[in-house]
Amino acid sequence: MRNELLRNFAIRAKQKLLGVEKKEKAKIKVISMEDDSFKEKVEYLISKGDEIFNPIHYLIDEKTMKSLKGEALERYFFEIVDKYNRFKNEIENSASC
């Protein structure tokens, strides 16, 4: 699934560069930045260190990923990445204090 997702991103990027992109109405799913269960998952991932190779795959909701298409899927993916990085930095900064 990961390779297919990256392949689709690359195809869309190429279409945008060539100016032949498809215009789709995207479903918008708002991800709350104040999510305690998400933060707990990030804490778990940090505690596991290098045991988990793909933390984003652990954090995404497969049902949501399958229901989204096009730009909504890209937006969801990058929001998960941003949220993961924000919580990871928060946790690491609070641990160093």
What is the C-alpha separation between 79 and 59, in angstroms, rounded? 11
Give me the pLDDT at residue 30, please: 53
Residue 13 belongs to a domain: no
- Give 53-62 contacts, CB < 8 A, sequence gap 24+: 54/2, 55/84, 56/80, 56/81, 56/84, 57/2, 59/84
Domain that holds residue 30: 25-96
Give me the pLDDT at residue 54, please: 84
Mean pLDDT of the chain: 79
Give the model confidence (pLDDT) of 22-74 as tens digits: 555 555 555 555 678 888 888 888 888 778 788 888 888 888 888 988 888 88
Question: How many structural domains are present in the chain?
Answer: 1
Residue 58 belongs to a domain: yes
Per-residue pLDDT band for 8 (boundaries 50, 70, 90) equals confident
Give me the pLDDT at residue 31, please: 53
Give me the pLDDT at residue 18, please: 77
Residue 70 belongs to a domain: yes
Burial of residue 34 (number of CB atoms within 10 Å: 0-12, 13-18, 19+): exposed
Residue 6 belongs to a domain: no
Residue 5 belongs to a domain: no
